[in-house]
Structure 1
C-alpha cells in the first residue's frame, strides 16, 4: 500500500485539544488514515498563510493516534502534501473565503484538494440547488421584505434562512398572518441589507429530511433526520435524532442529475438534504457524515469507504500524470 501525506484543514471542534473531537466525522476519517500509516498533518484556518505564491500552513503532525501530535506547529509547504481535506465548518465569512483563495495556490498537478476551493466558493449550500430547478422547492433570494411578504402570501407557509450559515442556525418558519413576521424579516435581512433565501415550506418536513452522502457523485449512505416535537428543524444540534434510511431509486435519479455538475466543480464529498424528493441544500464545505450513527445502523465503516475513495483518487491522479 502506498503511503501518502494527507493534510486536514480542521474546524476548531475537531482539533486534538477540543473535548468533543471524538464525536466528529473528521476524527474518524483521520484515525483511518493513521491506521493505514499515512502521514497526517492538521491545521486550523488561522494557521494558513501565503508566502508570495507558495501556500503554506503552520501544522501539527499527528503520530500513531489522534492524541499524539507535535506540540508546536511547524511550517509546511502545502504543495508537498498529496491530498488536503477541507473540514472547516461555516459560517462562510470573509476569513473562510480568503482561506479558499490561499488554497487555490496549491499546485493541482501535485496535490488534490477536497472539496475544490473554487467549487466551495461557487457552490453556496443554499443556492446551488437552483441549478436544478425541477428538483428544488420554489424560492426567492432577496433582502427586500415586500418581496418576501408577497412570496409568503402566495404560499401561506415558508422557511427563511441565511445564505452563509449551517446546522439550522438562523432559520425561521413563517406562516401567513404571523404577528412576528415584520420583526423576524427585519432581523434576518438586517433591515433589508442582507440577502436571505425564502423557500416554500414542504409539508412532509414534519417527517424529517434525508441526508444522502455522496462520494464522487455516487450515493454511499442515507439517513433520516427527525425533528423533536418542539422544533421544525431536524438538525442534530437542534434536538433532532437519526433513523435508518435506504437509498431509493429516486435518490439515485437525483444523484445522476446533479453529479456531473458536482464533479466538474471539484465537489467530491457532498451531503444532500432532501425532503419529499426535493433538494433542500447541497452541503460541500464540511458535510456531516454522521459516521458514528451510520456505522452501527448499517454494520459498515463509512470512514473506510471515504479513505478508500481518497486513495483511488490519488492513484488515478498519479496514473493520469504518467506515473
Structure 2
C-alpha cells in the first residue's frame, strides 16, 4: 500500500486538545488514515496562510494515534501534500470564504482537495438544490418581509432558515396567523438586511429526514433523523435521534440526477438531506456527522469506505499524470 501525505483542515472541536474530539467523524477518518500508516498533518482554519502565491499552513503532525502529535505547529507547503480533506464546519462567514481562496492556490493537478474550495463557494448548502428545481420544495430567497409573508399566505406553513449556518441553527417553523411572525422575520432577516430562505413546509417532515452520504456521486450510507416530540427539527444537537434506513431506488434516482453537477464542481464527499423524495439541503463542508452511530447499526466502518475512496482518487490522479 502506498503511503500518502494527507492534510486535514479541522474544525476546532476536532483538534487533539478538544475534550470531545473522539465524538467527531473527522476523528474516525483520521484514525483510519493512521492505521494505514499515512503521514498526517492537521491545522485549523486560522493556521492557513498565503506566502505570495504559495499556500501554506502552520500544521501539527500526528504520530501513531490521535493523542500523539507535535506540540508546536510548523510551516508546511500545502502543495507538498497528496490530498487535503476540508472538515471545517459552518458558519460560512468571511473567514471561511477567505480560507477557500487560499486553498484555491493549491496545485490541484497534483494535490487533491476534498471538497473543491471553489465548489464549496459555489454550493451554498441551502440554495444549491435549486439547480434541480423538480427535486426541491418550493422556496423563495429574499430579505423582503412582504415577499415572505405572501409566500406564507400561499402555502400556510413554511420553514425559514439562514443561508450560512448548519445543525438546525436559526431555523423557524411559521404558520399562517402566527402572532410572532413579524418579530421572527425581523430577527431572521436582520430587519430586511440579510437574505434568508423560506421553503414550503413538507408534512412528512414530522416523520424525520433522510441523510444520504455520497462518495464520488454514489450513495454509500443512509440514516433517518427523527425529531423529538418538542421540536420540528431532526438535528441530533436539537434532540433528534437516528433510525436505521436503507438506500432506496428513489434515493439512487436523486443521486443519478445530481451527481454530474456535483462531480463537475469537485464535490466528492457530500451529504444529502431528503424529505418525501425532495432535496432539502446538500451538505459539502463537513458531511458524515453520524459515522459513529451508523457503524454499529449496519455493522460497517464508514470511515474505511471514505479512506478507500480517497486512496482510489489518488491512484487515479497518479495514473492520469503518467505515473
Distance 2:32 2:199 in 1: 39
Distance 2:298 2:203 in 1: 29
Q: How many residues align?
A: 323
Distance 1:189 1:277 in 2: 29
- Cα deviation per residue 1:41-83 (whole Å; 9 max; x = unaligned)? 0000000000000000000000000000000000000000000
In structure 1, the partner of 2:115 is 115
Contact 1:213–1:289 (8 Å) recurs in 2: no
SS for the counterpart of 1:190 is coil
- Cα deviation per residue 1:166-222 (whole Å; 9 max; x = unaligned)? 000000000000000000000000000000000000000000000000000000000
Q: How does 1:234-253 map onto structure 2 within 5 Å?
A: 234-253=234-253
Q: How far is 1:318 from its partner?
A: 0.3
Q: Structure 2: where are the runs of 5+ without partners?
A: none
Contact 1:213–1:221 (8 Å) recurs in 2: yes
Q: Structure 1: where are the runs of 5+ without partners?
A: none
Contact 1:224–1:244 (8 Å) recurs in 2: yes
Distance 1:249 1:289 in 2: 24
Q: How far is 1:287 from its partner?
A: 1.0
In structure 2, the partner of 1:21 is 21
Contact 1:125–1:284 (8 Å) recurs in 2: yes
Q: How far is 1:110 from its partner?
A: 1.4
Contact 1:271–1:289 (8 Å) recurs in 2: no
Q: Which 4+ residue blocks in structure 1 deviate beyond 4 angstroms?
A: none
Q: How far is 1:280 from its partner?
A: 0.1
Distance 2:138 2:203 in 1: 13
- Cα deviation per residue 1:206-261 (whole Å; 9 max; x = unaligned)? 00000000000000000000000000000000000001000000000000000000
Q: How far is 1:288 from its partner?
A: 2.9
Distance 2:171 2:207 in 1: 18
SS for the counterpart of 1:134 is coil
Q: How far is 1:109 from its partner?
A: 1.2
Distance 2:125 2:78 in 1: 26
Contact 1:7–1:84 (8 Å) recurs in 2: yes
Distance 1:131 1:263 in 2: 14
In structure 1, the partner of 2:196 is 196
Instruction: Give the root-mean-square deviation of aligned CA atoms.
Output: 0.4
Distance 1:230 1:109 in 2: 50
TM-score when scaled to structure 1?
1.00
In structure 2, the partner of 1:64 is 64
SS for the counterpart of 1:133 is coil
Distance 2:6 2:289 in 1: 19
Question: In the alignment, is residue 32 of structure 1 matched against residue 45 of structure 2?
Answer: no
In structure 1, the partner of 2:269 is 269
